[in-house]
Copies of this chain bind each other. A is one copy, B any other.
């Protein structure tokens, strides 16, 4: 849009929408505690190394965000995303030497990425839980994703910080806090935004307070668009970081075109394009220099697509750090 005739530019519109989005959200619950955890984590994990570069830190987002339809939430909009991709990827990032800030949902246990070692450790945890108290059991039952991350915590010396996310407003508030805490890392910061973030939401002030009554006839809803945070992440929150977003479609005919549009529009370094039904077997990594198909190795039992995907990303991030 042409600014000279009084209309707002695309950028101004985006910033205005993002400001309005955050202004209308209720204050982040436990926001101070989250900031404290981030500060402590960054202190432990990003001291400059011998060549002056910081240790690498990746922010992995996973699972679907939810959109409450009532302030005292009974109903909400959710999506297909189980968080499996993010959890599997976290394991590979850790093995590659990254510290990980892992934003995750309460886990819907679908096919989890669980290595043999992790299963052994979980079983040991159960045996201990049986002989101590129910509380240990419940901790696992409530947060298996964080538990798996927690097991790596034991192995990898405290280089995973797990942050529970659920509703869209809170998830974006946490993402902003995380990104701002990673700003000083410069190019050593990586964002792997695998979460299926809600595209539509009900602004807090428009939301019914109590459970919507079903006796009042059909339900008409108008959902506002959630502004894309990718622009402000790239421009303001962590401008030097290497950024990877995801694009999922059900219609293969539009998938690559949409991924390419996202790459350009939001100035991403990579967009991982995947189709709903085949996403666990193959993805296409869309970059400015071309598209790279990545496949699960079907000849190897237990192989997943995240293994080659994270190897590729780590290589590209290394190249980026060298040249930035």
Contact = CB atoms under 8 A, between A and B. Distances in A.
Interface of A: 66, 69-70, 72-80, 106-112, 114, 116, 119-120, 122-123, 126-127, 129-130, 134, 137-138, 141-142, 144, 196, 198-200, 210-212, 214, 217-226, 248-251, 276, 301-302
B77 A110 contact: no
A117 to B, nearest CB: 11
Contact of A106 (B108, B137, B219): B108
Q: Please classify the interface of chain A as helix (H, G, I), strand (E, B), loop, or mixed, using the class held by over half of its residues.
A: mixed
A14 B112 CA distance: 43
Nearest to A214: B199
A64 to B, nearest CB: 9
Contact of A211 (B130, B142, B249): B249
Given A74-B79, A79-B76, A223 B221 contact: yes
Given A111-B138, A141-B110, A200-B214, A76 B77 contact: yes
B130 A123 contact: yes
A77 B75 contact: yes
B110 A250 contact: no
Contact of A80 (B74, B126, B218, B223): B74
A83 to B, nearest CB: 12
B217 A225 contact: yes
A202 to B, nearest CB: 10
Given A75-B77, A75-B78, A79-B74, A218 B214 contact: no
